[in-house]
Amino acid sequence: MATSILAPPPEGSGLKPVRGEPGIPLIGNTFQVMRQPFKVARQRYEQFGPVTWGWLLGQRTVTVQGPEAAEAVLVNRDKAFANGPAWSYFIGPFFYRGIMLLDFEEHLHHRRIMQQAFNKPRLRAYMEAMAPGIERGLDAWEPGLGFTVYDHVKQLTLDLAADVFMGVELDRAEADRINGAFIDAVRAGTAYVRFPVPGLRWHKGMKARRVLEAFFAAHLPAKRRDGGDDLFAALCQAETDDGHRFTDEDVVNHMIFALMAAHDTTTITLTTMAYYLAKYPEWQERLRDESFALVDEHGRTGLEFDDLDELTGIDMVMKEALRLVAPVPALPRKVVKDTELLGFHIPAGTTVVVPPLTNHHMPEWWPEPERFDPERFAPERREDKAHKYAWAPFGGGAHKCIGLHFAGMQVKSVLHQVLQRYRWSVPARYQWPLDTTSLPSPKDGLPVRLDRLEKSR
């Protein structure tokens, strides 16, 4: 394939041009990048270094690899990189005015208000609110062969979202309708055909957005009036010290976005943890012992907010799962003014992508990157400390995930309960087929053998 430069740097600037093998205009290497992201990232890094360009999903895209480049883009000192126009290209029509799609002053304004919905007292309340749903959901699992972890966890996190996010009682049919709309809205983001053709992803996504807007708008007056311990109520009530609040439209937009942001990401994290714990039963037993020790110590099976720091094994496994499979594989930005990145010239109008998925596998930063080794996060090793952005599954800078503590709470609460109820395994040679064409997920749903534990423990 032919090598070419993205744009000549301004004369006398001393900057280097970005080189790459862009491929056929518009299409470029899109299919290869989506199907074999690790292989392509490695090849490009070895050929061109951390900054290279190519056509990706119809856009001139600069991919920046490694933590130094990630930091420069995400910290965004010159305000040269914008979220809105970059993310909108993928999810704009479905997640219109979600906080991640806002930029600069406006983003900061919304973020300050939203922060009130993620403070400690709120988090405590969310954690309490999700506990009964976790127990109910897990008790309904049916042990046996071919239990598909991904599908069951996805259902569980959707059901929990109804309790903790919406705080609205839904009958099964209504819950399925809303859940279905979410799934369609999320899938639409990676449609190949990016205009509405009835029956195809984009069209379904647009329809789903209307369902969700109508749903939240209908419940909003009661939430404003009655409050509650859920995120919906928290967004209705959130107010900064200087009295700024969200409008009704803001609340609807942020609810739709937050549900999306929370749902697949947590599902992928739990599924990845389940996969590695099935492949490494010694780790599964270690975590189970840790969970039962906590039960013995406190005389209760549920996890509480103040217990979170005690589950150090789960914490390390969660971090390692987020390293091995970053649920948000790539963070796109649009360059809004000519800028410089690691000495390269990047012209306005370019899309820049920071890829946590492949960055987390760079041998330059992670010894034996393909190995499942949760101890790399143990206090005496802390391999993630090699660089502030070496481990960045939650992004960084102004848009750093606002729900990261929420995610930790939910993942730990669920796994703590699963470990007390079930043991799961996969055949020794099983390797999961990871689909990376959208957010990463196992193509086969991760079928395991699920056994119920003896009650006697």
**DSSP class of 76:** -
Residue 44 beta carbon to ligand HEM: minimum distance, rounded to whole angstroms: 21
Number of residues that bind ligand HEM (CB under 6 A): 22
Of 16-24, 52-60, 261-269, 437-445: span binding ligand HEM (CB under 6 A): 261-269
Q: Rule CB under 6 A: say whether 99 interacts with ligand HEM.
A: yes
Q: Rule CB under 6 A: say whether 260 interacts with ligand HEM.
A: no
Residue 200 beta carbon to ligand HEM: minimum distance, rounded to whole angstroms: 26
Q: Which is nearer to ligand HEM, 252 or 328 (CB)?
A: 328
Q: Rule CB under 6 A: say whether 406 interacts with ligand HEM.
A: yes
Looking at residue 198, its amino acid is P
Q: In what order do the strands lie in the sheet with 144-148?
A: 144-148, 447-452, 422-425
Q: Which helix (H) or strand (E) holds 156?
A: helix 149-161
Of 22-30, 34-42, 392-400, 442-450: span binding ligand HEM (CB under 6 A): 392-400
Of 47-55, 212-220, 325-333, 338-346: span binding ligand HEM (CB under 6 A): 325-333
Chain-centroid distance, C-alpha 184: 17
Q: Which of 352, 328, 336, 342 is nearest to 261 (CA)?
A: 328
Residue 453, classified by CB atoms within 10 Å of its CB into exposed (0-12), middle (13-18) or buried (19+), is middle
Is the CB of residue 50 less than 8 Å from the CB of residue 68?
yes
The CB-nearest residue to ligand HEM is: 403
Q: Rule CB under 6 A: say whether 265 interacts with ligand HEM.
A: yes
Tell me the CA distances in angstroms from 242 to 105, 112, 122, 380, one per residue in order. Answer: 16, 10, 20, 44
Q: Rule CB under 6 A: say whether 331 interacts with ligand HEM.
A: yes
Q: Which is nearer to ligand HEM, 15 or 326 (CB)?
A: 326
Q: Rule CB under 6 A: say whether 327 interacts with ligand HEM.
A: yes
Cα–Cα distance measured from residue 430 to residue 30, given in angstroms and rounded to the nearest whole number: 28
65-101: b or e for each residue (b if 16 or more CB lie within 10 Å)?
bbbebbbbbbebeeebbbbbbbbbbbbbbbbbbbbbb
Q: Which is nearer to ligand HEM, 15 or 166 (CB)?
A: 166
What are the E-state strand segments in 68-156? 81-82, 144-148
Q: Which residues pair with 55 in a beta bridge?
A: 60
Q: Rule CB under 6 A: say whether 258 interacts with ligand HEM.
A: yes
Of 185-193, 401-409, 422-430, 434-442: span binding ligand HEM (CB under 6 A): 401-409
Q: Rule CB under 6 A: say whether 100 interacts with ligand HEM.
A: yes
Sign for the CA dihedral angle at 103, 224, 263, 184 comes to negative
Q: Single out the residue of 60, 187, 399, 423 in contact with ligand HEM (rule: CB under 6 A).
A: 399
Q: Rule CB under 6 A: say whether 311 interacts with ligand HEM.
A: no
Torsion angle defined by CA atoms of residues 119, 124, 125 and 128, in that order, rounded to the nearest 10 degrees:
160
Q: Single out the residue of 394, 413, 418, 441 in contact with ligand HEM (rule: CB under 6 A).
A: 394
Q: Rule CB under 6 A: say whether 61 interacts with ligand HEM.
A: no
Q: Which is nearer to ligand HEM, 258 or 274 (CB)?
A: 258
Residue 106 beta carbon to ligand HEM: minimum distance, rounded to whole angstroms: 11
Question: Site residues (CB under 6 A) for ligand HEM?
Answer: 83, 99-100, 111, 258, 261-262, 265-266, 269, 327-328, 331, 393-395, 399, 401-403, 406-407
